[in-house]
Structure 1
Amino acid sequence: MALDIARLEQDLARGLAPIYLLLAEEPLQAIEAADAIRAAAREQGFLERTVLDLTAQSDWGPFEAAIRDRSLFAERTVLDVRLATGKPGKTGGDHLKAYAGDPQADLVLLLQLPRPDRDMRRAAWFKALENRAVVIHARPVPPAQLGSWIRARLQKNGLRITDPALALLVARVEGNLLAARQEIEKLALAGVTEIDETVLAEATTDSARFELFALAPTALRGDVRHTLRMLEGLLDEGQAEPLILWALARECRLLVQAMERKAAGAPDREAFQGSFGDGQKALRQAMSRLDLSAARGLLGEAARVDRVIKGQENGNARQGLLDLVARMAGRPLTRPEPALNSQRV
């Protein structure tokens, strides 16, 4: 059953399904949907949780053990499986397909996947789960609806905002829901109830700290020195390395997609779909100095850093992030690795 993400909490209140298939296209929507499912499970007596990060190369024995090797008196459990590549391989696919045919009554499977491509949707394991699971597609908020989304969030926090201030906030976050949530949280902590442009500037501007979502556009504009300073600042502040990488990889994907669409003859409106404001300007500047092979190489390097962060490859994650932003700015710190055109982060 496909379920609109806006109806998730209402559906959870009626009871839990045995399987949830969470298609994590937009990070914040996916994070909040997963949190809601786990919270509902705790309230309904599923007090244990097993988390597995799996790939096609993983040993799927722990998955089978989490399902089968459970005592008669074991606590009801949430099995939280993250399949970041969306490719379980034959062994993993067989396990998932088998479970879809025989889910356990005292276990909730939460399977988190990236946005499904055509190959994933055609896979037998995906079809089997899709037929049995509640499917939640965490999509980006369309640009035309972002203002309403932000206003509704502010209202939940008891805040009202003027139309000009809302337009300014929409432009500032540039479609990034994580950035929008960050700004809303700062406003909620500011002790105000009515937000106009002056209040917005005072409550959300902090020149002493570097904003996560300004990092990738600064790199793509070619300002290597400022980019490296920004990244050092974020890391020193304790910003999570996976979140930094997500923000960088997102812009690298947008860059590759825009270049591929332009090469296929797409008009600008279609080519730059998903980018806004200063972020789109930065993409255009990067396209003026990079070819498609180099852009794909950036995405490949982001995939390598992702493996380092996850412990799947040796290396220094901090140095990998520094080198990635330097390459995005056009001044690599180390020799580039071969492009991994098919990798996704």
Structure 2
Amino acid sequence: MKIDYLQALKRIENAQGAWVLQGQEPLLEQNLLDRLRQYWHSQGIERQRYEIQSVSDWKTVFNALNSLSLFSQQLAIEAHGNIKPDAAALKLLKEYLQHNEQNLLVVVMPKQDNQSLKSAFFQLIEANAVLVSLNAPYPQDRQRILSVEAEKLGISLDNEAWQWLLEHHEHNLLAAKNSLIRVSDTFSEHSQITTEQLQACLQDQSRYSLYDLSDDLLKGDLASAVKIYQYLLATGEPMSLILWTLSKEMRLLMQLYEQPHNALQLGIWKTKVQQYQQALRRLAPQQLLGWPSLLLRIDAAIKGISSENAELLSLQAIAELCQAPLFQMKN
């Protein structure tokens, strides 16, 4: 079955079997995963996360799905990566879909091209599970999605304001959501937002963005990246969005190291391939090994699960990406 983001939101409570999320909209991925995690937490469903960095990692995922802990009756597993199962793992996936109706496997992948979507893995998912497209190709789709975000904030926009917001941010839903948050904070006494209010709020807030941070991380410009990071913190950028940016760049670089000739298939834009390749040449393979655990520590700190400082850990991740670790191990 193929569904879109808004349809997926309505099916959270009935999610079972396997869901594969693929697309290029970070806001949609973040929102959908947040909603799933909230539901799992409310129902006492155990959650586990795995990074798919090689085909062999799929065996670990299916072993986990078939072995509940003593304290859990249901299990939800997130598998993040862009490596599809091989024939042996596809057999395990088929067995799981046929016999395990309680647990849920959520596979999170970057946007796939048409050829990839015709592979055996995606055909199996479409026929026996759920394929969620995290894309919003048309202006009306983007407005519908952002209208839901505006409603959460207790605001609405008139037609002219919607047109201005969509044109101002082009296809960037994440930036558009941030603008809605800022305008709702700035004009908290207003429920109906006009174009003039949007312009007044955003003209002073457009100095730096998460995309500027991404560019500096790929360039390895530590001084500029730290300056932008501090600006984002000072202007109220949510830590979860900063983590998403750090995670995206780290994961793409880790995947590109494993698959150096598959940059486009990994979801890297053609115009950015050279930047990622240059960044990878700058980095030592041993650095990459510690990134997944660092990202998990940042996530736990943001959620209050650990006592560590999320801002300092994020700064450490920025330094790692720029090949300037804040802490060096002594022999």
Determine if the alignment matches structure 1 residue 297 to structure 2 residue 254: no
Over the matched positions of the two proteins, sequence identity in percent amounts to 17
Q: Tell me the C-alpha RMSD between the 2 structures.
A: 4.4
Q: 1:211 to 1:50 in 2, by over 3 A?
A: same
Q: Which residue of 2 aligns with 1:6?
A: 6
What is the deviation of 1:138?
1.0
Determine if the alignment matches structure 1 residue 309 to structure 2 residue 311: no
User: How far, CA to CA, are the matches of 1:256 and 1:60 in structure 2?
Assistant: 23
Determine if the alignment matches structure 1 residue 160 to structure 2 residue 156: yes
What is the deviation of 1:37?
3.4
**Partners of 1:84 and 1:112 within 8 A in 2:** yes
What is the deviation of 1:49?
1.6
What is the deviation of 1:210?
3.6
**Partners of 1:165 and 1:197 within 8 A in 2:** yes
**Partners of 2:246 and 2:318 within 8 A in 1:** no
Q: Which has the higher contact order (CA 8 A, sep 6+)?
A: 2
Q: 1:301 to 1:99 in 2, by over 3 A?
A: farther
Q: Which residue of 2 aligns with 1:56?
A: 54
The DSSP-based 3-state class of the residue aligned with 1:310 is helix
TM normalised by structure 1 equals 0.62
**Partners of 2:246 and 2:317 within 8 A in 1:** no
Q: What count of residue pairs does the alignment treat as equivalent?
A: 282
Q: Any stretches of 5+ residues in structure 2 without a counterpart?
A: 254-262, 295-315, 325-331
Q: Any stretches of 5+ residues in structure 1 without a counterpart?
A: 260-282, 284-291, 325-345
Deviations 1:217-259, CA, capped at 9 Å, x for gaps? 7899x9x799546445368766735414637979x97x97565
Deviations 1:26-77, CA, capped at 9 Å, x for gaps? 221122223333444555x452222222222555554244233336x75332
**Partners of 1:80 and 1:110 within 8 A in 2:** yes
Q: Which residue of 2 aligns with 1:19?
A: 18
**Partners of 2:157 and 2:194 within 8 A in 1:** yes
What is the deviation of 1:193?
1.6
Q: Which residue of 1 aligns with 2:31?
A: 32
Q: 1:162 to 1:213 in 2, by over 3 A?
A: farther
User: How far, CA to CA, are the matches of 1:307 and 1:40 in structure 2?
Assistant: 31
The DSSP-based 3-state class of the residue aligned with 2:81 is coil
What is the deviation of 1:19?
2.1
**Partners of 2:16 and 2:102 within 8 A in 1:** no
Q: Equivalent of 1:240, from 239, 242, 265?
A: 242
